[in-house]
Amino acid sequence: MTMVTEKDINEQIAWAKINTDVLKSMENPRPAYWVTLAVCIAMVACAVVAEYIQYTVGMGTANLNNPHMWDMYIAAFVFWIGMSHSGTLLSAILHLIHADWRKPIYRFAEAMTTFSLMTAGIFPMIHLGRVWNLYWVLPYVSDRGIWPNFRSPLVWDAFAITTYLTASMLFLFVGMIPDLAICRDNTTGWRKKLYTILSLGWVGSDKQWRNFRKIYLLMACFLIPLAVSVHSIVSADFAMSIMPGWHITTFPPYFVAGALYSGCAAIITLFILLRYFFRFEDYMTLPIMEKTAKLTFAIAMVWTYLNLIEFASVWYGHDIYNKELLIAKATGAYAWIFWTMLFCGSVLPFALAFRKLRRHMPTMFVVSLFLNLGMFFERWMIVAPTLSMSQEPHQWDIMYGSIVEWAIVFGSFGWFGMLFLIFVKVFPSVSMYEVKEMVFHRKRSLGEEDLVRMTDHAKPATQTTGREGT
């Protein structure tokens, strides 16, 4: 019996159709796109009102006090930083290992990276209270007497996130240049002006392609250690302290695995949304969804393993504070969050092991949302229980966020969604030139010589002078 492998993409798809489909997506999405965008804007509006209240009344409106000086804002910050690892995984890592199935979906994953970092970057400002003193974190040489503490991971965060944000934006932009040239050549009005500027005069010459290949590779090589360093540094915000539940050696890999996990789950969510909004069934295909789901499952198992390792080392380590905290996590006030986290993060991913479920879009959509709910709870469980049960029992206190805090965190999802939806409407969310490459090379690997022809031109040679239309 021979097994027929389903193709990631139809190799017979014409290059002109790839251009047309992607360019059309930027003009004509389904109505659900506009509804989602409106919901996101409404969520941002709620957050703005909440932030105004917090700004004018004070941080107490967010239920922040001593010892709960961090809580949900920092949990949301870690969550959004984690989400940003999706682009690095799909773009950089899969690029280096030549996994070409990433090509139709890596663009939006890269955009996710940029926008989730922009969302994460807001939280330190919101959390700061005195937002107007934000520039104090900048360690420029001065005699202001501010004394930024270079030994603090919080200062490392500022460096690492700035570097990651700018590098990931450049990575996204560089990867888009050939597509922006396609947009430039096929649009009119304000779009043409915008794409003319952004495409930087790209013509697709062999010199440009050679340099392009090199820069993409170099940036991918830099982005991977950078992403690992960013989340390791974020984990150092906790692990460098001596608080129970935080001072753990496995925190950096645990954070990186969690980041990749939530990023992958978010890719599945947005994959399904974009496929529906822009009618991308030919590009965001079921086999590609299956591969993404399998990747997510594998990372989920790594995350689960790291959780078990952490529990085991705390349990057998007999550090009284850590052990009590672990018991409190499983049986105390936050137990329902703890068990929901474990269910969503470790049990639910087994749904991804079933082919039928992996190919059922509504199920995958719901599963991906629950996976990310689990990952948000994971961040909450890192932050809140330790602050609630530190070494000094007189400080013990249970805390849940106030409506102001919830509204701001809720609004961050709207902010991310709004930026992302505007991006995919203005810029091509499927990489046209890379899909063409994928189709071309796959055709060639079939060994069908005829198929290598990109077009079916049979017309005789004509001679013209100068540029078309001039």
Partner 1 sequence: MSKKRMMGLFGDFEEAHDAIADIRRNEVPGLTVDDVTMTSPIEHPDVEEVLGDRPVHLQKFTLFGAVFGVTFGFLFLAAAQASFLVQPQGGKPIIPLPSNFVLMYEMLIFFAVWLTFFAFIFLSGLLRKRSALYSEKVSLDQVAIIVEIDESIGESVKGLFEKHKVLEIREEAIR
Contact 262, 372 (CB under 8 A): yes
258-288 burial code (b ≥16 CB/10 A, e <16): bbbbbbbbbbbbbbbbbbbbbbbebbbbbeb
Binding of partner 1 by 312 (CB under 8 A):
no
Q: Which stretch binds partner 1 (CB under 8 A): 10-18, 70-78, 270-278, 325-333?
A: 10-18
Q: Give the side-chain half-sphere CA count within 13 A for 346.
A: 15
Does 421 bind partner 1 (CB under 8 A)? Our answer is no
Q: Which positions ≥6 away from 434 have C-beta within 8 Å?
A: 103, 104, 106
Q: Are 323 and 314 in contact (CB under 8 A)?
A: yes
CB nearer to partner 1: give 1 or 458: 458
Q: Residue 7 contacts by C-beta under 8 Å, 6 or more apart in sequence?
A: 285, 287, 442
Residues 337, 340, 346, 349, Cα dihedral to 10° = -130
Q: Cα(first)–Cα(last) distance of the chain, in Å?
A: 60
Under the binding rule (CB under 8 A), the answer on residue 98 touching partner 1 is no
By the rule CB under 8 A, 1 interacts with partner 1 = no
Residues 130-169, one symbol each (x = binds partner 1 by CB under 8 A, - = not), give: ---------xxxxx---xx-xx---xx--xx-xx--xx--
Interface map 441-460 toward partner 1 (x if CB under 8 A): -----------xxxxxx-x-
Site for partner 1 in 184-213 (CB under 8 A): 184-186, 200-213
**Count of chain residues binding partner 1 (CB under 8 A):** 72
CB-nearer residue toward partner 1: 60 or 201: 201
Q: Which is nearer to partner 1, 215 or 366 (CB)?
A: 215
CB of 437 to partner 1, least distance (A): 5
Name which of 302, 292, 290, 418 is nearest 356 in CA terms.
Answer: 290
Of 9-17, 34-42, 251-259, 282-290, the window that binds partner 1 (rule: CB under 8 A) is: 9-17
Q: Is 466 in the site for partner 1 (CB under 8 A)?
A: yes
Residue 368: closest CA among 456, 266, 459, 467: 266
Site for partner 1 contains 249 (CB under 8 A):
no
Binder of partner 1 out of 118, 154, 174, 333 (CB under 8 A): 174
Give whichever of 186 and 340 is closer to partner 1, judged by the CB atom.
186
